[in-house]
Structure 1
């Protein structure tokens, strides 16, 4: 009996987009980014960062927003924003992002971008904002007694991030499709109301592997279960030694039945270029200790060049600030041009002879 695997429309379109990128990458502009809540970890690297480098090297124009305004709701993070922002830039460059090609910028430095927020908010309803998965997740995990109004603007702010530079492609996981759909909705409604200004960006679905943290749940900075990109070899060894496994001695790659073991196997395979099934078979009856030894060696070997580059970058904060200053200037120029288009379309250009 033959089993038919149904491909979703989003996955089918994503495959078509990959083919179009191969044919002519210069047609595409991507906007993606991170919240500066601390250094990136191995889950970020294999989940998003590695893919950004891949796309940039293929010729796609890349914008990276460091969403500093989106952490103002968390004072613990906001109090150390400067070091977090510089740390992100060091992570990006050490991983292979070309700062001469990529536009790296912060929310707070691009005034014209943020001016798009008000007209965009006028195009969405409160229930649409409340239903957004990211907003719901932020509220659910908020440690505050009350929810800041800023949280409800996140989806519209993300739309401004994407649309100010006319990005037509956004790399996302399948769980982020509803978030991107609101950006598409805002673009469509603006174009319907005022005339076509914005593209409706499409999703480039990521097949990013899910790496679990050392405690067996999703790797996360906030959980303290992550291995950071800039971790030392000894820190990496200590964290992997303490990673959760299971009671079975023989090592197999079974993501559903043995998720913690499978995550370690997958990490080792990603870092060594092996198939995870073959890596597990190679460890076999060696047990968890042997597996952790193999994974530690693979991780430390794979990330040694990146870590050396990151340490050198982190030691030169003046260079990192220069990269950001240049990216902010490029983003502001682009945002001012888009804002001028928006004002013209909306009829809010006053005191000028037409």
Structure 2
């Protein structure tokens, strides 16, 4: 089973060990420490420690050290995926890159026996994430926010998970916390300004860690836009609204189209760079609508659209159809009742003549 603490070979963060001619095969123990700061940032320390398949530390091995220093992009990706499902929208800063620290320690179930081994020393990749660019942050009131952390390993491979996650509160106040799914384990350790999860398997490990925090310095600006786009054409005719949406920038991403007026509708659309798409909204039951185009939390474009003259709205169309159907049903019901009444009168007359005929025969 793949595990985030037992990441195989050259810091590639997998459990598939391969042989190397120039250096020993090894695993990497990986722990995360996330510190929520009062200024609205989170400092993430990824702590790594290499060891052999039989549990011997390779912290002082120079060849392994060189290899680990050259393998940081995957670890950085896992850090950013904890805060957003679209990491390129995050504002972050790499503080240290595989800094060798003797005062740190890393926990790992190196033998797979359900017991953690403590390795002294760690290579630390430290990253500052600006929480106001995370789409996992929700404002509750002035300085209280819900901040979610995602298990970036489970999100990319359900067979893997974060083994050790330490949460530290630096100038922030923890009001409440939770995790998903509910049957996963809670924190293994609680202290003043600190929580720690130690997960031995995927069932124990939460997929989502959720915290209600007082963060005095966080000014939430919402999710930044993925793309720049515009409404290039809009026609409302016969109850169908047809739009043309164009990506006017150099990046690809999602936009949201809202139609307001009558029954509101919304559509999520992916646009490649410079791509233009036509989108249709049927059953628009208003002659005047407002179309809004969003990416992230930003309004990119807005347009008021009126129905073309002489074009009936679907509400009128549906009304006429309903009336026609009701008239047909009424005629059908009346016909059925008439036929039943006629047949009933015939049966009655036939029944009387049959009785009389029988009496005549009996006599």
TM-score normalized with structure 2 length: 0.21
Larger Rg over CA atoms: 2
Q: Which has the higher strand share?
A: 2
Bigger relative contact order, structure 1 or 2, given CA contacts below 8 A and separation 6+? 1
